């Protein structure tokens, strides 16, 4: 089984047969490491023998073309979908022993927004890990939930039904639920998809504050033009791991072409180059 990279500060690029060098054992400092993860839908692998190591105190992006396995990798790491093979460690521990250190924000499309509940109820769901499903939230915990809504600019809508929210407001309320968990690792599946510019800026600001607090953020991301501005570390996937490392050295034209192939138009690469993003 392949092992993980020795230094998360050095970029790695996959060979055409999928082998990746260099690699090393999972680090207890790494918020999230995956080793040899394979996921298959029917007979076709969606993710094949992927290794990844995401650094602490950083914002990391998972990028790749549509159907490359970005969300699948995140869900497989969490156990939301089954893995055919592979191991997942959180700060050096098997994920089964460290789930309390993780907060997850799913894609909005996977949520039943017609469910009859309010914003504050959704945020308080993030606190039941501490009290149990049958436990009662204290007044202090309810105040904490309101504070999380305030952090995402939604405290004035605390009693609004979630079905009455816009796309951007929906994304903010699920981020507030993640904040209520007070995790060490935040995993987000396309947090900026379908939101307005103001919401995107608000989410980025919150995530950068989490980083400043020593937390780690890993997000599936699709907008290549914002990778360099938003993230410190990038993981490129196209079923296999294609490249991984600091944005400054890994987010290059060569790696983008290897990852996206013909799906990334040359004009798009030119635009990124002109903008200084590649």
pLDDT per residue, tens digit, the chain (278 aa), is 333 333 344 455 444 444 444 444 556 689 999 999 999 988 889 999 999 999 999 999 999 999 999 999 999 999 999 999 999 999 999 999 999 999 999 987 777 777 888 888 889 887 766 655 555 666 677 888 899 999 999 999 989 988 888 888 989 999 999 999 999 999 999 999 989 999 999 999 999 999 999 999 999 999 999 999 999 999 999 999 999 999 999 999 899 999 998 766 665 665 665 455 55
Write the burial class of residue 271 (CB in 10 Å: 0-12 exposed, 13-18 middle, 19+ buried).
Answer: middle
* Strand 59-63, strand 216-220: pairing: parallel
CB 179 within 8 A of CB 191: no
Give the closest residue to 88 by CA, choosing from 160, 39, 153, 15: 39
Question: Could you count the other beta carbons within 10 Å of the beta carbon of residue 97?
Answer: 12
CB 18 within 8 A of CB 47: no
H/E stretch holding 211 reads helix 197-212
Residue at token pair 């918020």: 31
At 53 the three-state DSSP class reads: strand
Q: Could you give the dihedral angle defined by the CA atoms of residues 107, 75, 230 and 259, in that order, rounded to the nearest 10 degrees?
A: -110
At 96 the three-state DSSP class reads: helix
Give the model's pLDDT for residue 114. Answer: 77
List the alpha helices (DSSP H) in 61-100.
Answer: 70-78
**pTM, whole model, 2 decimals?**
0.85
Distance of CA 75 to the CA centre of its chain: 10
Give the closest residue to 52 by CA, choosing from 107, 114, 6, 4: 4
Distance CA 221, CA 191 (A): 8
Give the closest residue to 148 by CA, choosing from 120, 128, 107: 120
The torsion angles phi and psi of 66, rounded to 5 degrees, stand at -60, 135
Question: Could you count the other beta carbons within 10 Å of the beta carbon of residue 217?
Answer: 26
Three-class HEC string of 144-178: HHHHHHHHCCCHHHCCCEHHHCCHHHHHHHHHHHH
Domain annotation for the chain: domains and CATH numbers: 12-261 (3.40.50.300)
Those residues with Cβ within 8 angstroms of residue 152's Cβ, 6 or more apart along the chain or in another chain: 172, 173, 175, 176, 179, 202, 203, 206
Give the model's pLDDT for residue 162. Answer: 86
Residue at token pair 């009455």: 164
CB 42 within 8 A of CB 34: no
């Amino acid at each position: 089984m392949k092992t993980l990279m020795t230094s998360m500060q050095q970029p790695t690029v996959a060979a055409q047969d999928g082998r990746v060098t260099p690699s090393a054992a999972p680090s207890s400092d790494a918020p999230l490491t995956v080793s040899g993860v394979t996921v298959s839908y029917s007979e076709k692998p969606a993710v094949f023998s992927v290794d990844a190591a995401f650094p602490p105190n950083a914002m990391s992006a998972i990028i790749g073309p549509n159907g490359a396995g970005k969300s699948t990798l995140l869900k497989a790491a969490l156990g939301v979908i089954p893995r055919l093979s592979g191991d997942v460690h959180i700060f050096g521990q098997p994920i089964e022993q460290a789930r309390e250190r993780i907060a997850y924000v799913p894609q909005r499309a996977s949520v039943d927004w017609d469910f009859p509940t309010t914003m504050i109820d959704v945020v308080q769901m993030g606190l039941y890990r501490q009290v149990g499903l049958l436990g009662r939230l204290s007044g202090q915990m309810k105040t904490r939930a309101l504070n999380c809504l305030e952090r995402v600019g939604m405290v004035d809508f605390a009693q609004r039904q979630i079905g009455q929210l816009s796309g951007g407001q929906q994304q903010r309320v699920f981020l507030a639920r993640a904040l209520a968990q007070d995790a060490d690792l935040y995993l987000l599946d396309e947090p900026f998809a379908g939101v307005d510019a103001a919401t995107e800026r608000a989410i980025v600001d919150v995530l950068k504050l989490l980083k400043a607090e020593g937390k780690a953020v890993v997000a599936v991301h699709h907008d290549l033009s914002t990778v360099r501005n938003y993230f410190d570390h990038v993981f490129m996937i196209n079923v296999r791991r294609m490249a991984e490392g600091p944005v400054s050295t890994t987010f290059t034209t060569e790696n983008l072409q290897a990852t996206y192939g013909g799906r990334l138009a040359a004009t798009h690469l030119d635009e990124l180059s002109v903008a200084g993003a590649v």
